């Protein structure tokens, strides 16, 4: 493993544009469950009941209860060594660095990354379906307050600002992400199973365009076959090592 990390560090230190894609695996060490691992959310909760627009239409309170409970857990979470390693990488590469995340947990921002594209939204944002406002909402609510009233128009027709199955991602953001995958020198995929479209296309785009693709994951994933190198291990252990080698190499 160490030889592969050294190889990746050698390539990355000479790159100008780095595009990083992250998924739930990077936040596991912060105490936030993934979706498809052994104790993942989709092993306990059904997608159809909690993560589709139909589920929300049928029972908004039930869906809100689930997100409210997850918000409570995520609010207590802190970035781990993998998040901080990516913040250091942005420091090193400045404008050449971009971070695309599927995570809704805000931990990259807390770790001080700046150029972040949150393709699946953010659990600390609420969207009003009446006045269309999207606003920062870090509150965890009492059950009788759910769904929470809009801060602006007071309607109770609000929802978490996340992307459910069957919903489109923000068009300009996914286009931007595709461009970043196509034009980078190095594409780094971290802690994602690559099970969800259209994000899973990003490493494929990078590979198709001849970019160096490297994956950091605790296990092989559907992305592994598109990667030039796969580094199996916990991101909170492998990424700090990668970044320390890059820093050493850049003098």
Q: Which residues of the shown chain bind ligand BJW in the complex (CB under 6 A)? A: 23-25, 28-29, 34-37, 40, 51, 102, 104, 120, 162-169, 191-193, 195-198, 217-219, 221, 234-236
Rounded Cα distance, 175 and 206, in Å = 14
In angstroms, what is the minimal distance from the CB of 211 to ligand BJW? 20
- Return the number of the residue (163 or 230) whose C-beta is nearest ligand BJW: 163
- Return the number of the residue (52 or 96) whose C-beta is nearest ligand BJW: 52
Other CB atoms within a 10 A radius of the CB of residue 162 amount to 17
In angstroms, what is the minimal distance from the CB of 73 to ligand BJW? 12
In angstroms, what is the minimal distance from the CB of 203 to ligand BJW? 12
Q: Of the listed 28, 70, 120, 127, which one is catalytic?
A: 120
Going 175 to 207 to 116 to 137, the CA torsion angle's sign is positive
Residue nearest to ligand BJW (CB): 25
- Return the number of the residue (165 or 208) whose C-beta is nearest ligand BJW: 165
In angstroms, the Cα distances linking 196 to 2, 10, 107 are 30, 31, 21
Tokens 């972040």 sit on residue: 116
β-pairing, 212-217 vs 186-190, is parallel
In angstroms, the Cα distances linking 141 to 65, 69, 72, 114, 120 are 9, 9, 9, 29, 22
- Return the number of the residue (206 or 235) whose C-beta is nearest ligand BJW: 235
CA 226 to chain centre: 19
Contact in structure between 203 and 213 (CB atoms under 8 Å): yes
- Return the number of the residue (98 or 230) whose C-beta is nearest ligand BJW: 230
In angstroms, what is the minimal distance from the CB of 128 to ligand BJW? 18
Tokens 């909170």 sit on residue: 236
In angstroms, what is the minimal distance from the CB of 33 to ligand BJW? 8
120 is catalytic: yes
Q: Which residues are marked as active site?
A: 120
């Amino acid at each position: 493993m160490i030889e592969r990390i050294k190889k990746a560090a050698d390539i990355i230190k000479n790159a100008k544009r780095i595009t990083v894609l992250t998924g739930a695996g990077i936040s596991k060490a912060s105490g936030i469950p993934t979706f498809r691992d052994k104790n993942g959310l989709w092993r306990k909760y059904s997608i159809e009941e909690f993560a589709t627009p139909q589920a929300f239409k049928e029972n908004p309170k039930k869906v809100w209860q689930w997100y409210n409970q997850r918000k409570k857990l995520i609010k207590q979470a802190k970035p781990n060594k993998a998040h901080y390693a990516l913040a250091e990488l942005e420091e090193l590469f400045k404008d050449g660095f971009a971070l695309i995340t599927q995570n809704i947990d805000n931990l990259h921002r807390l770790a001080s990354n700046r150029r972040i594209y949150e393709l699946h939204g953010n659990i600390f944002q609420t969207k009003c379906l009446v006045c269309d406002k999207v606003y920062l909402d870090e509150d965890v609510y009492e059950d009788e307050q759910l769904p929470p009233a809009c801060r602006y128009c007071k309607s109770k027709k609000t929802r978490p600002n996340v992307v459910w199955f069957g919903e489109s991602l923000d068009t300009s953001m996914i286009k931007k992400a595709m461009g970043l995958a196509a034009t980078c020198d190095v594409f780094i995929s971290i802690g994602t199973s690559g099970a969800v479209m259209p994000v899973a296309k990003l490493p494929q785009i990078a590979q198709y365009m001849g970019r160096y693709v490297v994956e950091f994951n605790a296990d092989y994933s559907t992305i592994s076959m598109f990667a030039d190198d796969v580094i199996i291990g916990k991101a909170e252990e492998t990424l700090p090592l990668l970044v320390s080698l890059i820093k050493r190499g850049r003098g």
